[in-house]
Amino acid sequence: MSEIKTFGIIGVGVIGAGWAARALAHGLKVVAWDPAPDAEKRLRAGVENAWPALQKVGLFEGASLDNLSFASSLEEMASQADFIQESAPERLELKTKIHADLDAAARPDVIIASSTSGLLPTDFQKEAKHPERILVGHPFNPVYLLPLCEVLGGEKTSDDNIKRAMEFYETISMYSLKVRNEIEGFLSDRLQEALWRENLHMINDGVATPKEMDDAIIYGPGLRWAFMGVNKTFTLAGGDAGMRHFMEQFGPALELPWTKLKGPEFTDKLVDAMVDGTAEFTENTTIKKLEQMRDDCLIAIMNALRNFKEGAGELVHKNEARRIKAVQEFQKWEKGTEIGAPLSLYQNQCLPEWVDYNSHMTEAAYLTAMGWATDALFRFIGDDEAYRDSGLSFYTVETHINYYQECSTGDQLRYETQLLGLDEKRMHIFHTMYHATTGEKLATAEQMLLHVDMKASAACPIREDVYEALQAIWEVHKDMDAPREKGRVMQIKKKS
């Protein structure tokens, strides 16, 4: 679908603006129209709000907000577009008329797709002269980030246009999921609707609160659903025997009043359909390998959520702090505390997201790990959340890393920390990372940190109590041998 250069949009609400942002990020020109008097202003505001997220994901060649234009009429937009996405309100009569108008104004080869959440494309085709190019391309909010696009045609939609539409959506980084039959709500929304209705029943009956129902998803099945849907999840629940065992064991529960939604009749035909349909999940692998993949994905998702302290990520964040506290030789420095030489304050494990395609920890991940070791030192000397909330912090101004041995997902790591230098505004530290099981030295990091008043954006003296803790460490560490990596200069030595 490389011939598509201009993406046409009608309806610039949340969904339409999302389509515009995605198309612009992929280097397309976007021409939009909406009859609302403030439509252009709302569209540009929506796209601009989405742009930072798209920059984080990565923009394609030619991506620019300057490629967005607003037409004066439906006809003007349709005459310029190579592909049209309709995102008007969910009213059948309105959508049918819009599709007829678009059909009359657009070139005959231009696909007209609807973002409808559940209406059927056959109904949109009734007044069109070229119904073969009218179909549904149903996205999910936020359209500019979520990749799923359900694609289905009506009675008169050509197979070629369904194929062309799916190929186009894939060029803008979407996952085209073909819906085999016209059915209200399509696939994903029917699943969401079933969950939503059961959710309302539980709240209405006083069984749970809205937060409790959300927590039931956030901390459990929601994490799995991100990478394995209902069917693959329950295939693994059947153990080595897979789906057939699961159906035999739990299928009769369909007759139990577990939900307000009546289940289908439990028959051999249903069992065979489930078994045959999920066979692809285990065809070239084993349940054990799938379980390992599932575990790695779950860990990666929970660690990603850690940065936002949301859902399971909040638990990961709290557990990380607990682990730091549990393995610190000292909880926090106080007068009279014995100082280790070097300090042993932190240990962790190599996380899945730290590992590259060679199955080894990446260079950048070593820096992240060393940063966490530095954070353990901060907590020891009294530089904690309250300290940073007061406007004071240490900023790293220089780092030298040496890599010695590889490590992989799950390897246990421990760190030793040595203070190499100290004055009123700076500290010079050195971390050594070891494999906690074998004792091998994996890497070292030498860092210079500057104490900063964040409100003034300037260096400032270290607060007295924190400086006192650092001085106590320095009194012990100043007599230690300097590591051989200290001050190392990178160079290719000439042969004498």
User: Where do the structural domains in the chain lie, given as residue ranges?
Assistant: 6-178, 219-292, 328-477
Mean of per-residue pLDDT scores for the chain: 89
Mean pLDDT of 243-257: 80
Higher pLDDT, residue 59 or 93: 93
Over 60: is that where the pLDDT of 247 sits?
yes
> Residue 68, Cβ neighbours under 10 Å: how many?
22
Model confidence pLDDT, tens digit, residues 1-52: 458 999 999 999 999 999 999 999 999 999 999 999 999 999 999 999 999 8
Give the pLDDT confidence score for residue 47 in this predicted structure: 94
Q: Which of 92-96, 281-285, 455-459 has the lowest mean pLDDT?
A: 281-285
Give the pLDDT confidence score for residue 309 in this predicted structure: 78
Give the confidence band of 319 by pLDDT, cuts at 50, 70, 90. Answer: low
Reported for 226-230, long-range contacts at CB under 8 A and 24+ positions apart, including other chains, are: 226/297, 226/301, 227/294, 227/297, 227/301, 228/294, 228/297, 230/191
Mean pLDDT of 408-423: 91
The CA–CA distances, whole Å, from 239 to 230, 242, 295, 475 equal 15, 5, 15, 59
Q: Which of 18-22, 149-153, 211-215, 461-465 has the lowest mean pLDDT?
A: 211-215
Give the pLDDT confidence score for residue 265 in this predicted structure: 79
What is the rounded CA–CA span in Å between residue 84 and residue 102?
Answer: 8
Pull the structure tokens for residue 375. 């954070």
Give the pLDDT confidence score for residue 136 in this predicted structure: 98
Model confidence pLDDT, tens digit, residues 321-334: 655 555 554 468 88
Give the pLDDT confidence score for residue 322 in this predicted structure: 55
Over 80: is that where the pLDDT of 415 sits?
yes
Over 90: is that where the pLDDT of 336 sits?
no
Over 70: is that where the pLDDT of 295 sits?
no
Give the pLDDT confidence score for residue 1 in this predicted structure: 46
What is the rounded CA–CA span in Å between residue 21 and residue 408?
Answer: 38
> Residue 241, Cβ neighbours under 10 Å: how many?
12
Give the pLDDT confidence score for residue 331 in this predicted structure: 64
CA nearest to 90, candidates 147, 143, 138, 35 = 138
Over 70: is that where the pLDDT of 71 sits?
yes
Cα-Cα-Cα-Cα dihedral sign, residues 220, 225, 226, 228: positive
Give the confidence band of 180 by pLDDT, cuts at 50, 70, 90. Answer: very high
Superfamily of segment(s) 328-477: Hotdog Thioesterase (3.10.129.10)
Give the pLDDT confidence score for residue 324 in this predicted structure: 55
Over 80: is that where the pLDDT of 317 sits?
no
Give the pLDDT confidence score for residue 302 in this predicted structure: 75
Q: Which of 30-34, 171-175, 305-309 has the lowest mean pLDDT?
A: 305-309
Give the confidence band of 496 by pLDDT, cuts at 50, 70, 90. Answer: low
% of the chain with per-residue pLDDT over 70 = 96
Q: Which of 198-202, 427-431, 442-446 has the lowest mean pLDDT?
A: 198-202
**Backbone torsion region of residue 148, taken as left when φ is above 0, otherwise alpha when ψ lies between -120 and 50, otherwise beta:** beta
Give the pLDDT confidence score for residue 382 in this predicted structure: 92
Over 80: is that where the pLDDT of 291 sits?
no
Mean pLDDT of 184-208: 88
Model confidence pLDDT, tens digit, residues 81-109: 999 999 999 999 999 999 999 999 999 99
List the CATH code of the domain at 6-178.
Answer: 3.40.50.720
Give the pLDDT confidence score for residue 320 in this predicted structure: 66
Give the confidence band of 443 by pLDDT, cuts at 50, 70, 90. Answer: very high
The CA–CA distances, whole Å, from 334 to 327, 329, 339, 386, 465 equal 17, 13, 10, 17, 10
Q: Which of 107-116, 190-199, 320-329 has the lowest mean pLDDT?
A: 320-329
Mean pLDDT of 48-67: 90
